[in-house]
């Protein structure tokens, strides 16, 4: 469909629009608008081309069109001289028609000489209209754009009329102040008009502006008004008889709602203000009617400071007999300020007092409903006060639907205001041209209360069931309001109980993190939810996903929730995952192990890699898998031909053999398990049988090497409570494929933050410990140990050497020394965990360590590169642990020779030579 408005030449002498002297677009200008407008889509560009070329000197040219592409929505195009309000007017009309917008283009051709700027508007709808619906929508679009033209072009005259009323009698007080307030950018002026009083009513409008501009005999500027197809109308209704009567009786001003919505700018109820005009004798001869919408700036200002509204508040406070400064006085003012200003202007003071007092009395967990029919019998204002902890945007939609159903009309507008501390208020205006139904307030209130049984209410009930009445209510009161709407929309209250208990534990304990797992029914079946709860800082998404994927889980989505308030900020990051088989995890079988693993990795107690897949597919946990990780890492340090990732794949792909290997390790080294050589040998035989059945030679070697590492191990601190590192002592000659010449003993220290070795050439051996920054630090230390063996050849102790490296150095250089010293302490602790001590002549084995070698109490260390000032630190560790050598454990401390100060270092020796 294609339509043009009345041409400028047919608008009549009353039309004061800039389009009266329209300059049609030249062909080059039309081409420029199309070329530079940025309308790239061919279909939208073609329609706009048709409208531009067919416009001529029309005020507004419009077209609504279906393309040949049946999967596309209908297209709307309009061309008009550029003005404010065009686009939002057009979009409001589209939505008022029940349609949704998919895409908008809005190119503007700049002004040039006498020609004004030209605006083009192109909209694509979500749906494809039936052919018979194209004409009515095109008619509506054309007419609302003409209405916008009338409003904008007549604004200056309308504002001048308001200014001129300031000189009339009776406008020196609040009425005049209100007019000044309206003029200060507080309204979108839609129309003004003059009316003459007559017995029983008023005649008019005359000398109208905007939407009340004169109706020329040939259509003219008023060609936008009148009925629309489907029963809607753009007609401006006359003033209500009650309002006219109030003016005639001497009221200084009458304000109120209008029954119809604005066709311009936004689809809100229009408001009107009637100001009396007087004849020469001082009598009321008529009135000026101002039709407007309040701006957002006006809505933001406190009503108690707005002219006319402030006097209505004073009257309400006086009628309520409230003492200034009292709690009730302040509460009534706050409630008044929260209410929509158009409602405050329209409601009578006695009704206002009754409403405010009712809002003040309503209990925190009660719903209040008040219905106020308007004088026209076709409109009603409804105030609904809902407990704040039960309110949500979803509830607002449900209440609006309830009002629509009970009043039998879909012409319903709802506005949300914050109300007081306990309640949120919904102010609803409902209109029906057939007349408003009578709906009892109590019935409506009960229906709203049923709707308002909120997520928070259900959470409180679930917490009371889980934790008892008093504690459950306290938890619900503290955490329920802090859980935001998007969390409530996605997590069932009974599932949120676990999150609330975890949040409470974090709050009370000061722990940084907690992990919880649960099952949830999703749109395609059941999925497992993994919730990571943390304090203050949201977890890095890529890191969390890597941890989950290392467990063999597929991450489907993340639902992050910021829990603020209460003096602390916490995060719930809820991940939907499926297991390796594509289904939910068996939480009864592996849930605790998975949660413990995630927690350990997140807090730095464990390293994450694909070995953790075995946690889901077997009964292994992350602490037992740490043993295999340490063996794997050590083999990489001695130069294994297989990468760590390849070794990991082999270990994961042979879960039964892997579990048997760890069972063997447990039989050999768990101090709580009775020694049973026959059981060990039987299990070793079973493992070898499983390895013999492996088809791949590489897999065979890797699994045999894992078995060989267990056999070569003679001590470990794996079962020492509270350890920060894992230490393994090897009989080096038994380590598979160890580069030669091998030391007598080798200790490997592993942790997520530090890694180290200690090599000894004999039972009695000494040598320095160094901090290394090399990835191949074991090769470095091995070479130094061999050199130490040569240097110590003429003394009793054989050569020894140790070294450690930080797994992740701090980015700030000033923090490096502290990090190195801390890692050094952990490294020393690990060595002493598996070293015998003495009590006189008695050997004291280390606690919780199974020894599969002879007594070994001799461990003496010295300073070296990077540790020259750490001897006192090492001796302090020895003293803390009660190690028999005490401050003789490390040479070069404050009770011996300071190696650094006296140059007793490799560099000092070189310089001496």
Please give the Cα distance from 374 to 428 (Å, whole number). Answer: 13
pLDDT of 355 > 60? The answer is: yes
Please give the Cα distance from 835 to 858 (Å, whole number). Answer: 8
Instruction: Report the predicted TM-score, pTM, of the whole model to 2 decimal places.
Output: 0.55
Counting every residue, how long is the chain?
913
Please give the Cα distance from 746 to 709 (Å, whole number). Answer: 12
| pLDDT score, position 908 | 47
At 105, list the tokens.
């283009």
Contacts of 894 (CB under 8 A, 6+ apart): 871, 872
End-to-end CA distance of the chain: 103
Which sign, positive or negative, has the C-alpha torsion 313, 316, 320, 321?
positive
**Confidence at 37, pLDDT banded by 50, 70, 90:** low
| pLDDT score, position 23 | 52
pLDDT of 696 > 90? The answer is: yes
| Cis previous bond, 205, omega within 30 | yes
At 714, list the tokens.
């003679």
- Coil/strand/helix, residue 788: helix
pLDDT digits (tens, 9 = 90+) for 837-869: 999 999 999 999 999 999 999 999 988 998 888
Tell me what the mean pLDDT of segment 672-684 comes to.
Answer: 94
Question: In Å, what is the CA distance from 384 to each residue of 266, 435, 452?
Answer: 24, 21, 11
pLDDT of 413 > 90? The answer is: no
pLDDT digits (tens, 9 = 90+) for 583-621: 999 999 999 999 999 999 999 999 999 999 999 999 999
Please give the Cα distance from 447 to 435 (Å, whole number). Answer: 22
Q: Which of 62-71, 342-351, 736-745 has the highest mean pLDDT?
A: 736-745
pLDDT of 44 > 90? The answer is: no
Q: Which residue has the higher pLDDT, 689 or 430?
A: 689
Q: What is the mean pLDDT of the chain?
A: 86
SS3 content of the chain, % helix, strand, coil (to 5): 45, 25, 35
| pLDDT score, position 272 | 92
Tell me what the mean pLDDT of segment 359-385 comes to.
Answer: 86
| pLDDT score, position 485 | 87
Question: Is 185 in contact with 295 (CB distance < 8 Å)?
Answer: yes
Question: Is 337 in contact with 304 (CB distance < 8 Å)?
Answer: yes
pLDDT digits (tens, 9 = 90+) for 415-459: 888 767 788 888 888 888 888 888 888 888 888 888 887 788 889
**Three-class HEC string of 228-243:** CCCCCECCCCCCCHHH
Q: Which residue has the higher pLDDT, 399 or 892?
A: 399
pLDDT digits (tens, 9 = 90+) for 719-769: 999 999 999 999 999 999 999 889 999 999 999 999 999 999 988 888 899
Please give the Cα distance from 736 to 734 (Å, whole number). Answer: 6
The domain spans of the chain are 2-149, 155-300, 456-603, 624-902
- Tracing tokens 């101090």 back to the chain, one arrives at 671
How many other CB atoms are found less than 10 A from the CB of residue 71? 6
Q: What is the DSSP letter of 480?
A: G
Asked whether the domain spanning 624-902 has the same topology as the one spanning 155-300, the reply is no
Tell me what the mean pLDDT of segment 112-136 comes to.
Answer: 86
pLDDT of 28 > 70? The answer is: no
Tell me what the mean pLDDT of segment 194-207 comes to.
Answer: 89
At 295, list the tokens.
């701006």
pLDDT of 172 > 80? The answer is: no
Please give the Cα distance from 490 to 620 (Å, whole number). Answer: 33
Q: What is the percent of the chain with per-residue pLDDT over 90, rounded to a whole number? A: 44
| pLDDT score, position 231 | 63
Tell me what the mean pLDDT of segment 646-664 comes to.
Answer: 97
pLDDT digits (tens, 9 = 90+) for 268-327: 889 999 999 988 888 899 999 999 999 888 888 898 999 988 988 999 998 988 888 899
Q: Which CATH class is domain 624-902?
A: alpha beta
Tell me what the mean pLDDT of segment 550-566 comes to.
Answer: 90
Contacts of 652 (CB under 8 A, 6+ apart): 610, 611, 613, 614, 658
| pLDDT score, position 113 | 75
- Coil/strand/helix, residue 719: coil
**Confidence at 9, pLDDT banded by 50, 70, 90:** very low
| pLDDT score, position 26 | 61
| pLDDT score, position 420 | 72
Tell me what the mean pLDDT of segment 13-35 comes to.
Answer: 49
pLDDT digits (tens, 9 = 90+) for 788-833: 888 777 776 788 999 999 998 888 888 999 999 999 999 999 999 9
pLDDT of 30 > 70? The answer is: no
Q: Which residues pair with 188 in a beta bridge?
A: 293
Question: Is 49 in contact with 59 (CB distance < 8 Å)?
Answer: no
Q: Confirm or reject CATH 3.40.50 for domain 155-300, answering yes or no.
A: no
| pLDDT score, position 27 | 62
**Could you give phi then psi for residue 855, rounded to 5 degrees?**
-55, 140
At 875, list the tokens.
């001796």
- 566-576 burial, b at 16+ Cβ within 10 Å, e below that, comes to eeeebbbbbbb
| pLDDT score, position 906 | 47
Lowest mean pLDDT segment, chosen from 1-10, 704-713, 789-798: 1-10
Q: Which residues pair with 198 in a beta bridge?
A: 201
| pLDDT score, position 414 | 86
């Amino acid at each position: 469909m294609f339509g043009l408005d009345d041409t400028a030449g047919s608008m009549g002498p009353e039309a004061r629009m800039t389009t009266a002297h329209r300059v049609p677009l030249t062909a080059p200008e039309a081409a420029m608008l199309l070329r530079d407008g940025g309308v790239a889509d061919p279909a939208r560009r073609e329609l706009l081309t048709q409208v531009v070329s067919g416009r001529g000197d029309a005020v507004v040219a419009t077209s609504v069109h279906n393309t040949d592409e049946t999967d596309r929505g209908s297209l709307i195009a309009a061309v008009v001289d550029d003005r404010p309000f065009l686009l939002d007017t057009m979009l409001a009309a589209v939505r008022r028609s029940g349609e949704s917008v998919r895409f908008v283009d809005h190119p503007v051709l700049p002004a040039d000489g006498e020609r004004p700027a030209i605006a083009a508007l192109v909209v694509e709808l979500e749906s494809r209209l039936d052919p018979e619906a194209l004409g009515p929508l095109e008619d509506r679009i054309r007419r609302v754009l003409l209405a916008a033209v009338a409003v904008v072009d007549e604004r200056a005259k309308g504002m001048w009329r308001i200014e001129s009323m300031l000189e009339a009698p009776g406008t020196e007080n609040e009425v005049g102040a209100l007019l000044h307030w309206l003029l200060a950018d507080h309204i979108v002026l839609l129309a003004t008009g003059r009316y003459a009083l007559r017995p029983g009513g008023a005649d008019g409008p005359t000398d109208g502006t905007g939407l009340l501009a004169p109706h020329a005999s040939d259509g003219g500027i008023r060609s936008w008004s009148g009925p629309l197809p489907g029963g809607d109308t753009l007609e401006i209704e006359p003033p209500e008889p009650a309002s006219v009567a109030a003016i005639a009786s001497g009221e200084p001003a009458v304000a109120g709602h209008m029954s119809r919505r604005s066709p311009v700018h936004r689809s809100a109820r229009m408001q009107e203000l009637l100001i009396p005009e007087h004849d020469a004798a001082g009598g009321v001869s008529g009135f000026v009617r101002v039709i407007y919408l309040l701006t957002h700036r006006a809505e933001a200002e406190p009503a108690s400071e707005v002219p006319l509204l402030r006097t209505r508040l004073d009257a309400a406070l006086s009628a309520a007999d409230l003492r200034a400064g009292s709690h009730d006085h302040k509460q009534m003012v706050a409630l008044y300020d929260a209410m929509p200003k158009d409602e405050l202007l329209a409601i009578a003071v006695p009704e206002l007092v009754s409403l405010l007092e009712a809002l003040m009395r309503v209990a925190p967990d009660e719903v209040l409903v008040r219905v106020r029919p308007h004088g026209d019998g076709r409109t009603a204002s409804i105030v609904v006060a809902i407990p704040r902890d039960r309110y949500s945007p979803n509830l607002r939609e449900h209440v609006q639907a309830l009002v629509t159903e009970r009043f039998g009309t879909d012409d319903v507008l709802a506005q949300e205001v914050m109300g007081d501390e306990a309640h949120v208020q919904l102010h609803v205006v409902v209109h029906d041209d057939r007349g408003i139904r009578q709906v009892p307030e109590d019935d409506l209130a009960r229906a709203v209360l049923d709707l308002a049984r909120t997520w928070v209410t259900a959470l409180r009930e679930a917490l009371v069931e889980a934790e008892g009445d008093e504690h459950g209510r306290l938890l619900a009161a503290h955490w329920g309001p802090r859980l935001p709407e998007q969390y409530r929309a996605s997590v069932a209250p009974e599932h949120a109980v676990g999150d609330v208990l975890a949040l409470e534990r974090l709050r009370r304990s000061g722990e940084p993190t907690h992990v919880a797992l649960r099952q949830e029914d999703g749109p395609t079946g059941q999925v497992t939810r993994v919730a990571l709860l943390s304090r203050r800082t949201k977890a890095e998404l890529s890191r969390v996903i890597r941890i989950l994927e290392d467990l063999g889980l597929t991450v489907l989505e993340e639902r992050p929730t910021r829990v603020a308030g209460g003096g602390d900020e916490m995060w719930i990051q809820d991940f939907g995952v499926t297991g390796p088989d594509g289904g939910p995890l068996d939480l009864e079988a592996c849930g605790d192990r998975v949660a413990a693993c995630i927690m350990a990795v997140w807090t730095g107690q464990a390293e994450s890699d694909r070995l953790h897949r075995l946690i889901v597919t077997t009964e292994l946990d992350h602490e037992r898998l740490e043993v295999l990780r340490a063996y794997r890492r050590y083999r990489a340090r001695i130069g294994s031909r297989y990468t760590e990732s390849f070794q990991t794949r082999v270990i994961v792909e042979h879960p039964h053999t892997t579990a048997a290997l760890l069972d063997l390790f447990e039989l050999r080294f768990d101090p709580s398990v009775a020694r049973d050589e026959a059981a060990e040998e039987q299990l070793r035989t079973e493992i070898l049988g499983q390895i013999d059945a492996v088809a791949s030679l590489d897999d065979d070697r890797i699994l045999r090497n894992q078995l060989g590492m267990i056999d070569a191990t003679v001590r470990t601190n794996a079962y020492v409570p509270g350890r920060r590192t894992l230490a393994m002592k090897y009989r080096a000659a038994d380590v598979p494929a160890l580069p030669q010449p091998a030391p007598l003993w080798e200790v490997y220290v592993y942790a997520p933050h530090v890694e180290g070795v200690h090599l000894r050439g004999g039972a009695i051996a000494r040598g320095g410990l160094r901090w290394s920054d090399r990835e191949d630090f074991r090769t470095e230390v091995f070479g130094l140990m061999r050199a130490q063996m040569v240097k110590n050849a003429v003394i009793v102790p054989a050569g020894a050497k140790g070294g450690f490296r930080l797994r992740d150095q701090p980015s700030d250089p000033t923090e490096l020394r502290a990090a190195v010293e801390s890692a050094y302490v952990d490294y020393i602790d690990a060595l002493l965990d598996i070293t015998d001590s003495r009590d006189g002549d008695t050997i004291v084995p280390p606690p919780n360590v199974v020894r599969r070698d002879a007594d070994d109490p001799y461990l003496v260390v010295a300073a070296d590169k990077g540790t020259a000032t750490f001897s006192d630190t090492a001796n302090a560790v020895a003293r803390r642990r009660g190690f028999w050598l005490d401050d003789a454990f490390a040479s070069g401390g404050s009770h011996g020779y300071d190696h650094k100060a006296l140059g007793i270092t490799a560099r000092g020796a070189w310089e001496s030579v």
